[in-house]
Structure 1
Amino acid sequence: MPTNRKPLRRLGFLTIGLFDGTDPGPGHERTLRMVELGERLGFDNAWVRHRHLQYGISSPIAVLAAASQRTSRINLGTAVTPLGWENPLRLAEDLATVDVLSGGRLDAGFSVGPPGHLDHVKHALYPDTADHEDFGYGRARRLVDLVRGARASDFRGVEGFEVFSDRVQPHSPGLGSRLWYGGGSLRSARWAGENGLNLLSSSVVKAEQPGPHDFAEIQLALIREFRAHHPDGDAARVSQGLVVIPTDSASPQQRAKYEAYAQERLPRTAEPQGPGRLLFAPDIVGTSAEIAERLHAHAAFREVTEVAFALPFVFDEDDYTQILTDIATRLGPALGWRPAS
């Protein structure tokens, strides 16, 4: 096992927060319990996915606002908010508010691109402006600038008893350094670096060159492209997100479930998928020692000191408890990580 990499410095997990459409309360409560468990186990970060018109968290900011009042230490993140659904000024206000409520613990991840199924939702989302909206990097640049304190209005002053600011309020100065871009292409990695953001690199990348395709090598190229264009160079922050499922304390039934889940998803990792040529990383199932060995051999993992391991979508709460506990107590230490006090 290679030993020439730095120890893992920050350990996080990512959940989609599924719920029952006929009774959504318990699912949201389950997500909050998982964040609380993560804090007790010493995780550094808890990230939530963003899903619109699905049975997963549609408003991570609201969920994280609640989580901020039930935790005191763990960082809370969005991975990632698709900006095509958002007004950058309003989102900047929400992000800053949650950062203030959490005491400066918010990690705000986002990405660009048109909303999924735009032709089916534009009548509700942008009934008059869909054909004129900027769904590219300009939209992201607006968010970054507003969070970092750029002027949002050409008016400031007093009207009667009301005082107006010309920038987003509340302003949370530290949040500007905790903005993350979810990038899967060389272009997006380069843009994130040029704009001084942090990089979230998930279990999905774009296969932009002819094959053969090796996920780890493509992800490594993204990380290096990002750092080559970032003011902080090799010190620029990157968090890697892979699906890992340790089985150390799992029951035989759980192990069988986990292995079947990974096997069902394995075919999509063989070749790029769809017109976007998306390449998926294989899920890693095994004991913490086995997973650590595979990660140490992973070219991109050797370049990072932060991870956000993604939890599978469809498991039960008992499964997630077992997986998170094994990650924190066995896999993390095997990777050189120590839990936060």
Structure 2
Amino acid sequence: MRRIRFGYLLPTRDQAAAGVHDPHRLVGHAVRAEALGYDSVWAGESPVTRPRADPLLVLAAVAQATRRVELGTAVLLPALRHPIPLAHQLATLDRLSGGRVIAGMGAGFPADATRAQFTALGVDFATRNRRLEESVEAMRLLWTGEAVSFQGEHVAFEDVRIAPPPSRPAGPPVWLAGGGPALRRVARIADGWLPYPPEHGVYADEAATIRETAQRPVTPALYATLCLDGDPGRARERLRASIERYYNAPLEFVASVQAMFAGTPEDAAAWLARYIEAGARHIVVRFATGDHEAALAEFAGRVRPLVPAEARS
């Protein structure tokens, strides 16, 4: 049997969208999550499209304020960074945290706003998938702590060594986002999979594909947005307000591509249990709320106890 793990996405984007810029409060949320028994704390990245506090700097502060929770990025966009400084930052963060980093990464959602972000940073959007793969390959070489060389289509360097190396000899595990055509990349190079399909059946089918084709053990995770309320109608309206401010897009569109739930804690537990039945083993929760302290406690006290604690590997 395998224990089901739960993570918490820090509201870096929610803060920025509300015009609040208080990274100390984010660290406080992470400390509270650890005290409540969450297994991981996560931070997202989008410097231009959906600006927010830098995830690696926020997680460096969280590393010093916590002792147990894993620290994940949900997700980094390696195509926007050179792999040498990114590998260096992640290795240093892994050292600071005592080997607790999960390097969640993605290529970038195919949308006009994401394309504009790549343009603003001078990166060809059409190359993002190959850049992601080259970055992962190059960083794993750099994380050995040896002087290494790499020759790719978009990245090349010779005789480069970074210090310090990560706490773990192989470096932080790399989890990749995506479904559909991206599953081939996940199965080929990832240590974990962090998708957000809105349908349980799609998750089950794609998880099966990864299990059957993966070239290494892959942790099946889930990125899920929840809005809890005793009144499902009110929960839906609160979800709408949160998501439309977050993405500047209609809830109906975002919900058509992302796993989202609005309703009672009991129904949320049943909804999550179906993803666990479909194969999810590490669930990263984003709360659509203005009160994260209350949401953290409510989920820990009223949802998690109703969700299966273990599942077959």
Match of 1:176 among 165, 171, 189: 171
What is the match of residue 188 of structure 1?
Answer: 182
| CA–CA separation in structure 1 for the residues paired with 2:76 and 2:136 | 12
What is the match of residue 19 of structure 1?
Answer: 15
The amino acid across from 1:9 in the alignment is I
Unaligned runs of 5+ residues in structure 1 are: 1-5, 155-164, 205-214
Give the 3 Å change call, closer, same or farther, for CA 278–201 of structure 1 in structure 2. same
Which structure is larger by alpha-carbon Rg, 1 or 2? 1
The amino acid across from 1:238 in the alignment is P
Q: How does 1:176-325 map to 2 (within 5 A)?
A: 176=171, 178-183=173-178, 185-203=179-197, 215-232=199-216, 236-247=218-229, 258-262=235-239, 273=253, 279-287=257-265, 289-296=266-273, 298=274, 301-312=277-288, 315-316=289-290, 319-325=291-297
- The Cα of 1:304 is off from its aligned counterpart by 1.9
CA contact 2:207–2:220 (8 Å) conserved in 1 = yes
CA contact 2:196–2:258 (8 Å) conserved in 1 = no
- The Cα of 1:79 is off from its aligned counterpart by 0.3
SS at match of 1:107: strand
| CA–CA separation in structure 2 for the residues paired with 1:301 and 1:30 | 35
Pick which of 222-231 and 132-141 moved more.
Answer: 132-141
CA contact 1:89–1:143 (8 Å) conserved in 2 = no
What is the match of residue 305 of structure 2?
Answer: 333
The amino acid across from 1:202 in the alignment is Y
CA contact 1:269–1:280 (8 Å) conserved in 2 = no
Q: Figure out how many residues of one structure are paired with residues of the other and give that number.
A: 292
> With structure 2 as the length reference, what TM-score do the two structures score?
0.78
| CA–CA separation in structure 2 for the residues paired with 1:78 and 1:44 | 14
Moved over 6 A (4+): 264-270
What is the match of residue 154 of structure 2?
Answer: none
| CA–CA separation in structure 1 for the residues paired with 2:222 and 2:18 | 34
The amino acid across from 2:128 in the alignment is F
| CA–CA separation in structure 2 for the residues paired with 1:171 and 1:134 | 28
CA RMSD of aligned residues (A): 3.6
Unaligned runs of 5+ residues in structure 2 are: 150-158
> With structure 1 as the length reference, what TM-score do the two structures score?
0.72
Q: Find out whether 1:141 has 2:134 as its counterpart.
A: yes
Identity %: 20
Deviations 1:141-171 (A, max 9, x none): 33344235466655xxxxxxxxxx7433221
